[in-house]
């Protein structure tokens, strides 16, 4: 029998630091490494990437030097992006600055260039229809390439799209400090949305949707990915301890 006070010792698979935390302190966005500040989610991304690329779970400091393995990240956390770039031919990309990549509108010259793409907590923010971004994710990969993916999801019956008719829109902060989204649909109808949800703080990254688990898997199937696998296992030695079965990382191959 385990309790929330049980102590779990682990090596951070991102920076290599030794840690010990009570089980009750682990959560998807917690369980912080004392040295680099990594969370359970970030450590799980490195774990899944290692399994998919090398067939075993290695700590990032122990990754082989493989400049022949080409990959990109979509606004990845710098804590693992920087050391990953020292090991592999990896580039972190961004939506608003260089090196820029918009997953909703991928440049044709990027098609089929990458052995892996990391998309961690990005697709809940891309504009609808989200199916376009899933197809583009597959397009980026070489045959046999892998997408390492995470996004918040739950057990609802279908994905909750907050702005299903989004077309031409702007975010505005009102005099009282509240934010609102003003949208003009393709048919010309005006819409106003308040009580917006942002990740990273007000005015930062707007939440466009909350996926359901089943709908998320359907998106990968519809985009013609193969071998889609949710990685649900705890890996205590790396400080990967899940408190529920929602929002787990997955890997999907082209």
| Lookup result for tokens 């990845």 | 76
pLDDT exceeds cutoff 80 at 2: no
Domains of the chain: 7-156+207-253 (3.40.50.150), 163-199 (no CATH)
pLDDT digits (tens, 9 = 90+) for 24-62: 999 999 999 999 999 999 999 999 999 999 999 999 999
CB 90 within 8 A of CB 45: no
How deeply is 63 buried, as exposed, middle or buried, from its count of CB atoms within 10 A (0-12, 13-18, 19+)? buried
Residue 177, pLDDT score:
85
pLDDT exceeds cutoff 70 at 118: yes
Q: Which of 64, 114, 54 is nearest to 84 (CA)?
A: 64
Q: pLDDT over 90 for what percent of the chain?
A: 93
Mean pLDDT of the chain: 96
Answer whether 0.75 is exceeded by the pTM: yes
Residue 189, pLDDT score:
97
């Amino acid at each position: 029998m385990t309790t929330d006070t049980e102590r779990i010792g682990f090596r951070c698979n991102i920076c290599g630091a030794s840690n010990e935390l009570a089980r009750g302190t682990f959560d998807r966005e917690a369980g912080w490494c004392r040295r680099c500040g990594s969370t359970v989610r970030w450590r799980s991304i490195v774990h899944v990437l290692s399994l998919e690329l090398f067939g075993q779970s290695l700590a990032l400091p122990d990754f082989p030097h493989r400049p022949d393995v080409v990959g990109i990240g979509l606004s990845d956390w710098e804590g693992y992006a920087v050391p990953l770039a020292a090991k592999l031919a990896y580039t972190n990309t961004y939506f608003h600055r260089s090196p820029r990549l918009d997953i909703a509108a991928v440049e044709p010259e990027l098609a089929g260039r990458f052995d892996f793409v990391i998309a961690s907590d990005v697709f809940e923010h891309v504009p609808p229809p989200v199916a376009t971004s899933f197809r583009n994710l597959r397009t980026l990969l070489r045959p046999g390439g892998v997408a390492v993916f995470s996004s918040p999801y739950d057990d609802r019956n279908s994905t909750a799209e907050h702005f299903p008719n989004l077309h031409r829109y702007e975010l505005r902060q009102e005099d009282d400090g509240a934010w609102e989204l003003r949208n003009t649909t393709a048919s010309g109808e005006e819409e106003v949305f308040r009580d917006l949800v942002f990740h990273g703080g007000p005015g930062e990254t707007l939440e466009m949707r909350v996926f359901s688990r089943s709908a998320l898997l359907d998106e990968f199937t519809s985009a013609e990915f193969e071998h889609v696998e949710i990685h649900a296992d705890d890996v205590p030695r790396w400080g990967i301890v899940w408190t529920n079965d929602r929002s787990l990382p997955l890997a999907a191959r082209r």
